[in-house]
Amino acid sequence: MPSSFGSALRVSVFGQSHSEAIGCVVEGLPSGLLVDMDALGRLMARRAPGQGPWATPRKEADLPRIVSGLNADGATCGAPLALVIENTNTRSGDYDELRRVPRPGHADLPAQLKWHGNQDVPGGGHFSGRLTAPLCAAGGIALQALATRGVRVRAHLAEVAGVRDEPFEALDNSPDARARLQRQMDRLEGRRGLPVIDDSAEGAMLAAIDAARRGLDSVGGVVECVATGLPAGMGSPMFDGLENSIARAAFGIPAVKGIEFGRGFGAARLRGSEDNDPYHLEGGRPVPSTNNAGGALGGLSTGAAVLFRLAVKPTSSIGRPQDSVDLVSGEPARLGVRGRHDPCIAPRAVPVAEAVCALALLDSWLAFPPEGAQFSLGEGRD
């Protein structure tokens, strides 16, 4: 279905930019998970606007209200969990120009053609980036579930406007490299400001973003995400493999235009002898020595870190005038998008990437576990 995904764990997102509320329903969560609302709030705060010079200064009160799915102890009870986030700024009346003149780079025009003008126009309607808030909340719960089993998911801003951060140490799978990767994740966890590993990257990124902002323009970036601690043999062949599921979910994040796993497009220029990950033994168990595959072969987890990168295009809403058309008069028109917009959306996409990664992985584990190693949280209080 359009706005839902998942096999055993089903996430259904609802809402428009200016509807009364936005939110989501999550079916299939294992019971017995004590939801940590503070941790959820921290994750969502990383996505929220108004945190720094790269993001719109608009304030949102994005605390989700969990209206169902928990028992009296605050633990998941087996029933669908529903999250509601009230929209405070609903129904502005002054969007008539937007109805007439579709914004380049947005879904305005195709939505108009799809729904014959019934689509909800203001703020992008259901296509708004604001819809990543409930997705983030759902993913935050999945992250908490995965953490109980030792899984850790983390993303960073690998690139903004051509400025690169230090990459994750995840193409190597030696014990040393794995330790370095954990330290990179620790560092990101403790960081304020832009989510980068290398402090020195932040300044150049902020400068590029600021230059774009001053030019009434925007810049894009690359988000890199990693997940560690997964069992090998999770996932499935063909169309419900890890890559398929993560990709399907990730393209649900507005502005994502590409995804690659492990070496990704770089693998196209390697030889097989360079790209294949040989095996060695650790404690008697076979383990891939490198991780060019990004943690998945044939749709199944290898036990090495799941690693992927997302291409995030520059924010479409820019102040700089662009060519468009007036749908009512049938004449050419020029449009400079007013209001406050993020000159770079990539930083706020970082926690959303973690969220969709966690949802896709928890779903894979629940639906396609290594046989006999089902995800479970164990006994309840009785």
Residue 19 interacts with a copy of itself (CB under 8 A): yes or no: yes
Q: Provide the minimum distance between the beta carbon of 360 and a copy of itself in the complex, in angstroms, as a whole number.
A: 11
Identified binder of a copy of itself from the candidate list 91, 183, 338, 340, rule CB under 8 A? 91
Burial of 239 (0-12, 13-18, 19+ CB in 10 A): exposed
Residue 87's nearest CA partner among 38, 24, 139, 16 is: 16
Cα gap 189→267, rounded to integer Å = 30
Tell me which stretch binds a copy of itself (CB under 8 A): 35-43, 47-55, 178-186, 283-291: 283-291
Q: Provide the minimum distance between the beta carbon of 309 and a copy of itself in the complex, in angstroms, as a whole number.
A: 8
Is the CB of 192 or the CB of 269 nearer to a copy of itself?
A: 269
Residue 291 interacts with a copy of itself (CB under 8 A): yes or no: no
Which residues ranging from 31 to 50 are in contact with a copy of itself (CB under 8 A)?
31-32
Residue 269 interacts with a copy of itself (CB under 8 A): yes or no: yes
Is the CB of 28 or the CB of 52 nearer to a copy of itself?
A: 28
Helix (H) or strand (E) holding 332: strand 331-335
Amino acid at 83: L
Identified binder of a copy of itself from the candidate list 54, 127, 168, 365, rule CB under 8 A? 127
Is the CB of 190 or the CB of 272 nearer to a copy of itself?
A: 272
With CB under 8 A as the rule, give the number of residues binding a copy of itself: 169
Tell me which stretch binds a copy of itself (CB under 8 A): 40-48, 59-67, 136-144, 191-199: 59-67
380 phi/psi in degrees, rounded to 5? -85, -165
Cα gap 108→114, rounded to integer Å = 10
Tell me which stretch binds a copy of itself (CB under 8 A): 36-44, 45-53, 80-88, 146-154: 80-88
Cα gap 345→76, rounded to integer Å = 33
Is the CB of 190 or the CB of 331 nearer to a copy of itself?
A: 331
Buried b (16+ CB within 10 A) or exposed e, 260-283: bbbbeeebeeeeeeebebeeeeee
Identified binder of a copy of itself from the candidate list 205, 234, 305, 353, rule CB under 8 A? 234
Residue 152's nearest CA partner among 230, 43, 39 is: 230
List of long-range contacts for 126-129, beta carbons under 8 Å, 24+ apart:
126/3, 126/15, 126/16, 127/254, 128/16, 128/17, 128/254, 129/254, 129/255, 129/345, 129/348
Residue 61 interacts with a copy of itself (CB under 8 A): yes or no: no
Residue 188 interacts with a copy of itself (CB under 8 A): yes or no: no
Is the CB of 69 or the CB of 139 nearer to a copy of itself?
A: 69
Which residues ranging from 296 to 355 are in contact with a copy of itself (CB under 8 A)?
297-303, 309, 311-318, 320, 322-325, 327, 330-332, 346
Binding mask 146-185 for a copy of itself (x = CB under 8 A): -------------x-xx-----------------------
Cα gap 382→375, rounded to integer Å = 20
Handedness of CA 324, 328, 331, 335 (dihedral sign): negative
